[in-house]
Structure 1
Amino acid sequence: MDGTFDWTRASKASICAFLLAFAPLTGALAQTSDDASDDGYVAPAAPASDTSSDAAAPAAAAPAAAAPAAAAAPAAAAASASAASAPTTNLNNVAVTGTAIARPDAATALPVTVYSAKELRQQGITSTPQLLQQIAGNDTSSGPGLNTGSQITGGASFADLRGLGANKTLILLNGRRLATNSLEGNGAATDLNTIPFAAIDHVEVLRDGASALYGTDAIGGVINFITKKNLNGGNVDLQYTMPTRSGGGNSSTLSATFGKGDFDKDGWNVMGTISYQRSGEINTNSRDFITPLNPNIQAVSSNTFSSNYNQGSIFANAQPGCNAKGEIPDSYFGDPTSGACYENYTALGAEVQQKYEEPSFFGQASYKINDKNKVSASYLYSRKTTYSISAPAPTSGSIEVQPGTKYYPGNGITPAPTAVQDPDGSFDPTKPVSLYYRTVPAGPRVNKGVNENHRVVLDFTGRFLNGFHYDTAFSYNQSSSDYDEVRGEINQTEGPNSLQAQINDGNYNPFDTNLSDAERQILLNAQTTGQIEAGKTRAYVWDGKIDHEIGNWFGAGQSALALGAQYRHETLDVHIDPYLAARSPSSGLSGNKISESRDVEGVFGELNVPILDNLELDAQARYDNYSDVGDTINPKVSLRYQPLKQLTLRASYAEGFHAPTLFDLYEPLSNTYSEGGLNDPVLCPGGKVAAGGSQVRDCNTQFQEAEGGNQNLKPEKSKSWSAGFVLQPIKYVTLTADFWAVELSQQIGVPSGAYIFANTPTDSSIYHRNDDGSLDYFVNRNENLGKLETNGEDVQLDAHLPSDYGTFTFSLQGTYTNKYDFQNVKDGPYYNNVGVYSLQSNTVVFRWKQNITLGWHKGPMSLGVVNHYSSGYQDAYQYPGHYKVHDYVTWDTYGSYAFDNGLQLTVGSNNVFDVDPVYSDQTYAGNAGYDARYASGVGRTVYGRLSYSF
């Protein structure tokens, strides 16, 4: 596609909806006398404040600002937006994430938590992915060490509320959706690096299903990033962060923000933010909790240097003793001695933290057309370049040594298999042997991922006809991802420069660890470099809504109605270079191209009715029609009851429908390596070698796994419930608690390799085997896996105590998960994932996660301490002595001083006690020895931040 949207493809319903939406705008421009009003922007509330209570007592203030809650609650949501894909309510009334109705306060029945970006920056947080650590209800994140195998994300990071999947957490910027990532299977979710953190004023997190309002992909919740508004002046920030351990990893952030024009007085405002971040890499060999090899970490490979070779049941190594770097005898793990070796691939090339750089820009201009109407335009740009390092390339049997050639075993240079290696005398010198080799002399594979994002929004907002409020906008979102091979990828079998050809010609000895200069040059000549994959997603969106008070039906206050519509055209284009793919077998890619699109049309309504003075009903419903998977209606209803001034009760019920993404449907098959610790169900059933099998090749190892889309997928459907309260027993204390539950059916995902091997018949066509019976690869497509049932509680306690010695603050946020059970197939057995690393999902759901902040503020000075806690869980493989992953507890501390001349200095330390990540024997994500999704291997960092405001 050329990127130009063909409006001739739009349906008549879409065109009519467009014309109707702009009809009120025409009338609005002519209005000059009714309800004149302005933006009325107010600073946001303290971080992590709940906006759902309108009790008069103040909420807990941030360490740097002890603001009373009566002003804080509505202010926290003043800049947020909510409507079909985004309505932003302006001109006196405010909106809260999760409702489309403009109202004079922020009190709703929804559990919305607000995080102040100013306070997050004081804690050393400089990017949106770091924010995830502050959200207890976020079950996973993309840690800095998540960079190997199928977990390479090209530098992208994703949110995952409730652990339902990143594609079920909707990410908004000023209330409107952002483009999804376009690199391989990550195309279902929004890369958080898209959002320039320097432009953010505050963040609103709705921990409740919102498909009835925003669209069908908001089952898990919504995270709404709100940018600064009506800024007149500016600031410059510089932060430098440094790990206290050796090994590098220093990072720096520079940002500058400037705004001019007072929207209230001048009728216009322009604002722009430019920022630049960069970080150095940290190699795993600088962290002793990963290397040298822990004997209980079985993240090893059968691809070794020097090479293992295979023929029939023989799996042997020509170099006795396995003395090359990273090699380990198979007997090391208690296996029967076969004369073969394992390779500790983590020690040969992996990272605790990746090297990256990211420039970004956000600009916004607002103009008051008249006292009732305004127009605004914004542009966002970000480009993150990440370098990922992984172990030298494996061959996995793709290269063969032919009989009669120079290095064939038993042909003079390479010894024939010994009696231990070939106890049955079955070696046949007339047949080739296949190599399980790792190209260590070529060095680790280095890949470059570039994620670039553009977003343009043109928004019209205003009032007409005595109080009708409208909000309509056009937006364009584009996310592109390029994946380049920089070095270390080896052409194994294609053409005269391939490693296969050089071995056949006798120029390269795969069984010798002492290579000549000529042999090293052969490896360099066989390297493949260049852009192997490029992907792009686009979304052309129009949305609009109208809301208005419709009468005092029950004598308890004005009822209000909002109606809206949305049209969205999505495209997905992915190109894989067939030439490079054929010469890069360890990339797992093949020469495929995707060019797909879909149209989504939606209409929605929301009715808010005060039934009694202290009882309010809110009902929402949305209809969506997908051009490729059908239509759906999603309702939601919520109640808010305030029996006492100090107590608010709330409850909600919602239904959801999550259509399979374009990637879910059309992603071509691509090979990756499965998780480790698998046993071939034919040649090593139950971990015991069978006839024709090999301990090293077929047992306790990784296999090639071909993953891809499935056009027969059905949509996921959900039901969710929540009930809770907000209590302010005394003036300076607020307690919030909410019970939540979600049922998800027909969930879309890829079963784990362990599940496939245990539950798929051995004669199934998903198994693709070599001539000798060994497993070449197995196919594992996206499937509708069955049901998922989860429930738990969110709690939040905020308190602040003003005194002559300053203001002391306390904030606790925690999520307790009672249940997380899922099926891998329809009507199949349920697997528990709470407090257990499930080999069926390759994830863990924490029983309890919390963040606690203690703060003090007086005059220009602020101090704070932050605690992060995740409860322990049952380990993945439970090797002797390591049945449980321990609790993970870290502490941060910071202090700041604001000078009279606009300068502010902040210093602090994250993980101040230099705690190692807790040990885990999982081999699925990141580095062996810990789970990079849930813990960081960076260790203690110290930082300094200098800010200047003018």
Structure 2
Amino acid sequence: MAARRNASGSRFNKNPLTLALATALMFPLGVVHAQDATEEDSQESTEEAAPTNTSTLDAVTVTGSRIAKSTFNSVSPIQVIPREESTVAGFNSTAGLLQSNAVTGGSDQINNAYGGYVVNGGPGVNTLSLRGLGPTRSLLLVNGRRLSPSGSRGAVGSVDLNTLPNIMVEHVEVLKDGASAIYGSDAVAGVVNVVTKSKFDGVAVEFQTNATQNGGGLETRWGTLFGTSGDKWRVSGSLEIYDRQEVTMGDRDWASDCPRPLLGRDDATGRYGADDYIDPTTGEPKCWGLDAGGVTINTLGTQYLLGRPGLGSLGYYGTYDPDNMPPGGFDYFNRWRPNASVTDGDLPGYEGVDLEGRTTYDPTMKRESLISPTTNVTGFLQGSMDLGVMGDAEAYFEALITRRESEQTGYLQHTVDYAVGSPLLGDLSWLPRMSAAPADGSTNGLPIAARAFIGWGLYGNRQTIDFGRYTAGLRGDLGSSWSYDGYLSYGRSDADYYTDNRLTDRIAKSYDVVSDGNGGFVCRDTSDGCVAAPVLSADVVAGNLSQAYRNYIMQETHGSTIYEEETAAFGVSGPLFDIPFGGTVAAAFGVEYRGMEIDDTPDINSINSNLYGFTSSTPTRGEDSVKEAYAEFEIPLLSGLPGAQELTFNLSGRYTDYDSYGSDDTWKLGMLWTPVDWLSLRASRGTSFRAPALFEQFLGASSGFANQSGDPCNDWGNATDTNSNTYLNCSSLGLPPNFNATNSITVYTQGGAETGLSAETSEAVTAGLVFQPEFGDGFGDLSFAADYFSIEVKNGVARLSGAQVLALCYGQSQAEFTAGSGYCSLVQRAANNSLTVTTGYINVARDKVRGWDFTTRYARDIGQGRFVANLAVTSFLEQGGQTLPSVEYKDYSGTIGAPELTGQLDLNYTIRNWRVRYGLDWVGSVESYSYYEKYDGVDYRPTYQMAIDDYFLHNLSLKYTGDDWSVTGGIRNVADKDPPVVSTGAYTTIGNAPLYSGYDYFGRTFFLNFSKEF
């Protein structure tokens, strides 16, 4: 009878080969501990010096090929990570493992620290980006079959790692090489295959908790694994609940300490912050809590009026010299802060403040989410039955079902606009129109006399996402040597997302008031329970708003997103013929069909642009389908000869036909040469074809806001290059030289289907060697691998940011700028100098990454135990791109967020039932000065802190394995290392820490894992 297949289609005998030994044959990366691949009653004897699980290997299918082989040797580098490695490293989820530097090589990942940012897949999503090329270019498989996207809002296009099981996982295979010819679209930067346990009899339970020393972020996971089997059938599954509590800004000192610009370097100490503004009210550097100082709270805006300067405020004239001020110590201000001691001037009860003197920090901000909370419930069920017909056919099925409930807490600034002559102005009814504020829709089309900038407080987002993928298939033998596998799969993500939003129409109604006859005001129209806006007062400016008013204008909005994907695939594989002095030529052929559909329906208030100060969007609806055919050939040209222990070529090709973008073909050629037993050389070259994701094609028009500091004309008069197009174009607008924008930039984004968006292509090259010398008894086993990689994406799909569009517009010639042509056709400047930018998805010139992966493994017996060391280092030689052919190509490798060097070191010692592990994660030093000096000709060294030293995280763990149970405990981030510090004006930061997934935000964390089999 044929050997029973595992869930990924591989054929294993009853006792599979340990993954560690299989990996050592080709050594892609450190699998450091011999572990039975199925973990079925495989406890090592306590009398043995080291684990000795062994078995016989039949044909297996390794990620990166459709052809089953009797070894793990491959023309492409493959990293195999058993689940035990994830447990002893302290990861409490498969998402945590996949987003670690061990898999990503230091590329930034979208994780739960991005809850307050607009990301593809919506808040709370976790995605995987290999080589830094983005989630849509990284393919994720479960048991060799692609997992469909999941998430919320209109930009769903990648797998959400929250949908993956944990206790059911046997190991993870990572192919960091382009493989579109094997797997189709998305496999541009690489492939990750999550392989589940193929067979399990009995019941196992597992509990793990990760507790942070500094509070918040407690992770708990309860899981159960179950299975049973008969002579011709088997079924197994798992159910687990993962819960992570919130980490707030206030839970971490480095995040709750208010961010500082860190301007100016002290030459004596080398520290930055010498030029930071010192707040005279505290004697400490100014705290910029809102958008790095882009907005204000507890401040009143008016036309320029005479008033007393607040402590440290310069006013319109920018000086304290009374000779340069109006008489009496007054000055002109258009921003004011309540101060009851001021009894004269145009605004008694208010003191004048300037840009640096205004209030920007509210202690409530400490309650914002740093790491957002989530609860994931995951169920997995798989089974098979031998039918005894159709070539010893086996019918199989899989079902993966998850629910994610996540939420995020953010902080809002609110504005109350008072129209000229409005009774709500109270004693300030005489205020003239603000020159910087035009007629505003929220005040029913009337010009604004005053604007109160108020700290609203906290608001919430929450999501509920139900995901399911269901697969049924049939596999068997065609004759004695060929096999077939065909399956149908259906995936569906059904999301509901909720956000606390202020509604523009309700705000407008609250301004339309009449007297209530008691000295107060009520809404003219009370049909929907309207509550009048507050009368302007110092108390209101201080943020004290009635709860009735808050409840009226703030409503929970609800949108829904459905993403569906259906797949039908059929493939055959087997031997073709034998080659003299070589081996058996094998082949695989197959066809595949995929249909995808997205339907995102935002809240009606979002569709109607009725959300005040928040992103609005219209429905995203579209569908696409693809038909593909592939062929792969494995050609062992030479075998067992002097100078050619093995010489194998692999050739694959795929024809792809998208309903949306037409057809193309991709190919890949690989070679593995082993001249002597201790040395192997491998190389590959291939192409990829990726049609844009559905959201890239059909994203409904959405609106967002960028900080006003992004206006190209801010302080244009002080520019050093007075001949630049930006200087000349800003000058032509008649703006004062010291102009500073006071309104956020509105950015509209839309899909590219209507603008001629086309598919992207890419080319990938790898070349490497595997060195496994034999030093004789006593020295131990040493393996070394070095693999070069180069991936270049051409005609790639990307979205121009609003800042890029503005730079391209203002960088045009004066003639083009004045005419409003070219990129300026996408930019509008209103009468109050507020900017509106329209952008979307386009085909860009290229993205490129190049570098090396180095891996070393050393193992030897020491005393009665076994010592194993693994070292993995990724070195990027290039990480660059350009948005348009007309824009200079820029290499950003080595800058903050894109390190050139990252590494991981694992040291393990196993003796009888005990295993101790030390782990070191390393992110190399980074700096951005060279980047700006090279491309912009500006040396920012004296101005901004834009350099970070080498960053190290130390981890320790200890595991004890009993007869049918095990316990693992340890510490992650033993030294309680904080994230590094940079200037807020240079990068997106949390506090002064750069927003980058390679740095730890949790701090010292203790973990405990307990498992038991019954």
Task: Give the CA deviation at 1:875.
Answer: 4.7
| Residues in 2 aligned to 1:301 and 1:72: alpha-carbon distance in whole angstroms | 61
| Matched residue, 2:375 | 357
In the alignment, what sits opposite 2:76? 110
1-structure distance, mates of 2:88, 2:495: 32
1:300 and 1:346 map into 2 onto residues whose CA distance is 16
Cα offset for 1:350?
2.6
Does 1:380 find its partner at 2:400?
yes
Contact 1:459-1:473 at 8 Å conserved across structures: yes
Check conservation: 2:35, 2:53, Cα contact below 8 A: no
Contact 2:760 2:793 (C-alpha < 8 Å) held by counterparts: yes
With over 3 angstroms needed to count, the CA separation of the structure-2 counterparts of 1:921 and 1:179, relative to structure 1, is: farther
Q: 2:297 aligns with which of 302, 305, 312?
A: 305
After superposition, where does 1:613-628 map in structure 2 within 5 Å?
613=639, 614-628=646-660
1:552 matches 2:552: no
1:192 shift after superposition: 1.0
Cα gap change, 1:311 to 1:672, in 2 (>3 Å):
farther
Q: Secondary structure at the match of 1:219?
A: coil
Amino acid at match of 1:796: T
927, 930, 938: which one aligns with 2:1002: 938
Match among 529, 532, 536 for residue 556 of structure 2: 529
1:724 is the counterpart of 2:724: no
Q: What is the match of residue 405 of structure 1?
A: 422
Give the equivalent residue in structure 2 for 1:123: 89
Post-superposition Cα deviations, 1:315-337, rounded to whole Å, max 9, x if no partner, equal 832316899xxxxxxxxxxx975
The amino acid of 1:465's aligned partner reads: G
State the secondary structure of the residue aligned to 1:196: coil
Q: Which residue identity is paired with 2:301?
A: Y
Give the corresponding residue for 2:506: 494
Taking the aligned partners of 2:572 and 2:1005, their CA distance within structure 1 comes to 49
What's the counterpart of residue 175 of structure 2?
206
How far apart, CA to CA, are the structure 1 residues paired with 2:541 and 2:714?
37
| Secondary structure, aligned partner of 1:721 | strand
Among all aligned residue pairs of Structure 1 and Structure 2, give the percentage whose two residues are the same amino acid: 21
Residue of 971, 982, 985 corresponding to 1:920: 982
Q: CA deviation at 1:835?
A: 1.0
The alpha-carbon distance between structure 1 residues 530 and 724, as it changes in their structure 2 partners (threshold 3 A), is same
Q: Do the aligned partners of 2:714 and 2:738 also contact (CA within 8 Å) in 1?
A: no
Aligned partner of 1:164 in structure 2 is: 133
- Once the two structures are superposed, the pairs formed by residues 704-743 of structure 1 within 5 Å of their partners are 704-711=746-753, 712-730=756-774, 732-743=781-792
Q: Work out the CA distance in 2 between the residues paired with 1:58 and 1:349.
A: 41
Q: Provide the secondary structure at the position in 2 that maps to 1:471.
A: strand
Q: Which moved more, 1:792-801 or 1:306-315?
A: 306-315
- Displacement, 1:871? 1.4
SS of the residue corresponding to residue 482 of structure 1 reads strand
Asked if 1:367 corresponds to 2:376, the answer is: no
Q: Where does residue 412 of structure 2 map in the other structure?
A: 392
Q: CA deviation at 1:661?
A: 1.1
Q: CA deviation at 1:251?
A: 1.8
Q: Classify 1:802/1:338 alpha carbon distance in 2 versus 1 (closer, same or farther; 3 Å).
A: closer
Separation (CA, whole Å) in 1 of partners of 2:537 and 2:693: 44
Shift of 1:177: 0.6
**1:295-351 deviation per Cα after TM superposition (whole angstroms, max 9, x unaligned):** 22663354433245366999832316899xxxxxxxxxxx97587554579936532
- The equivalent residue for 1:509 is 536
SS in 1 for 2:769: strand
298-307 vs 129-138, greater mean Cα deviation = 298-307
Structure whose CA Rg is larger: 2
1:143 paired residue number: 111
Q: Answer yes or no: is the 8 Å Cα contact 2:845–2:883 preserved in 1.
A: yes
Contact map agreement 2:22 2:72 (CA 8 A) in 1: no
Kept after mapping to 1: 8 A contact 2:140/2:146: yes
Output one character per residue of 1:520-547: Cα deviation in whole Å (capped at 9) or x when no partner.
Answer: 321122211141x211111111011111
Alignment counterpart, residue 965 of structure 2, candidates 896, 903, 907: 903
Q: Matched residue of 1:167: which SS?
A: helix
- C-alpha displacement of 1:175: 0.5
Once the two structures are TM-superposed, the CA of residue 402 in structure 1 deviates from its matched residue by: 0.8
Contact 2:867–2:908 (CA<8 Å) still a contact in 1? yes
Residues 598 and 686 of structure 1: CA distance in aligned 2, closer, same or farther (over 3 Å): farther
- In the alignment, what sits opposite 1:229? 198
After superposition, the Cα gap between the structure-2 partners of 1:387 and 1:520, relative to the gap in structure 1 and judged at 3 Å, is same
- Give the AA of the match of 1:171: L
Question: Do 2:653 and 2:668's aligned partners in 1 also have CA atoms closer than 8 Å?
Answer: yes
Contact 2:219 2:243 in 1 (8 A): yes
SS of the residue corresponding to residue 149 of structure 2 reads coil
The one-letter amino acid of 2:602's match is I
For 1:913, what is the secondary structure of its paired residue? coil
Equivalent residue, structure 1, for 2:921: 868
Alignment CA distance shift 1:500-1:361 (3 Å)? farther
Which 5+ residue runs of structure 2 have no aligned equivalent?
Answer: 3-9, 37-42, 263-287, 305-315, 317-331, 342-352, 437-442, 514-520, 524-531, 640-645, 720-726, 775-779, 811-816, 930-939
Partner SS, residue 804 of structure 2: helix
Q: Contact conserved, 1:683 with 1:774, CA < 8 A, in 2?
A: no
Q: How is 1:589-608 mapped onto 2 (pairs within 5 angstroms)? A: 589-590=616-617, 592-608=618-634
- Mapped to 1, the partners of 2:333 and 2:187 lie a distance apart of 51
Partner SS state of residue 412, structure 1: helix
Q: CA RMSD in A?
A: 3.7
Distance 1:745 1:112, change over 3 A: same
Report the Cα distance in structure 1 between the residues aligned to 2:126 and 2:337, rounded to whole angstroms: 43
Confirm whether residue 470 of structure 1 aligns to residue 513 of structure 2.
Answer: no
Partners of 1:318 and 1:415 within 8 A in 2? no
Counterpart residue identity of residue 919, structure 2? V
SS in 1 for 2:467: strand
Amino acid at match of 1:751: L
Question: SS state of the match for residue 542, structure 1?
Answer: strand
1:440 maps onto 2:503 in alignment: no
After TM superposition, give the deviation of residue 663 of structure 1 in Å: 0.5
Contact 1:138–1:159 (CA<8 Å) still a contact in 2? no
Structure 2 counterpart SS, 1:290: helix
Q: 1:517, CA displacement in angstroms?
A: 7.6
Cα deviation digits, residues 234-266 of structure 1 (max 9, x gap): 3111112211013x221211000011116xxx1
Q: Is the 8 A contact 1:143 1:936 kept in 2?
A: no
Deviation at 1:930, TM superposition (A): 1.8
| Pairing 1:61–2:33 present | yes
Contact 1:302 1:341 survives alignment (8 Å): no
- TM-score of the two chains, using structure 2 as the length reference: 0.78
Distance 1:821 1:516, change over 3 A: closer
1:157-188, Cα deviation, whole Å (9 max, x unpaired)? 11111111110000000011111134346422
Change (3 A) 1:375 1:432: same
Of residues 731-740 and 355-364 in structure 1, the stretch that sits farther from structure 2 once superposed is: 731-740
Structure 2 SS opposite 1:758:
helix
Q: 1:652 to 1:499 in 2, by over 3 A?
A: farther
Q: Which amino acid aligns with 1:536?
A: I
Confirm whether residue 653 of structure 1 aligns to residue 707 of structure 2: no
Structure 1 pair 517/141, CA: closer, same or farther in 2 (3 Å)?
Answer: closer
Are the aligned partners of 1:61 and 1:799 in contact in 2 as well (CA < 8 Å)?
no
Question: Where in structure 1 are there 5+ consecutive unaligned residues?
Answer: 1-27, 30-36, 79-91, 324-334, 424-428, 838-843
SS of 1:919's equivalent in the other structure is coil
Q: 1:726–1:508: structure 2 CA closer, same or farther, 3 Å change rule?
A: farther
Using the TM superposition, give the Cα deviation of residue 189 of structure 1 relative to its aligned residue in structure 2, in angstroms.
Answer: 1.3
Q: TM-score, normalised by structure 1?
A: 0.83
Quote the offset at 1:356 in angstroms.
1.0
Change (3 A) 1:437 1:903: farther
Q: Equivalents in 2 of 1:54, 1:341: separation in Å?
A: 58
Q: Which residue of structure 1 aligns with residue 903 of structure 2? A: 850
Deviation at 1:919, TM superposition (A): 1.6
- Do the aligned partners of 1:875 and 1:882 also contact (CA within 8 Å) in 2? no
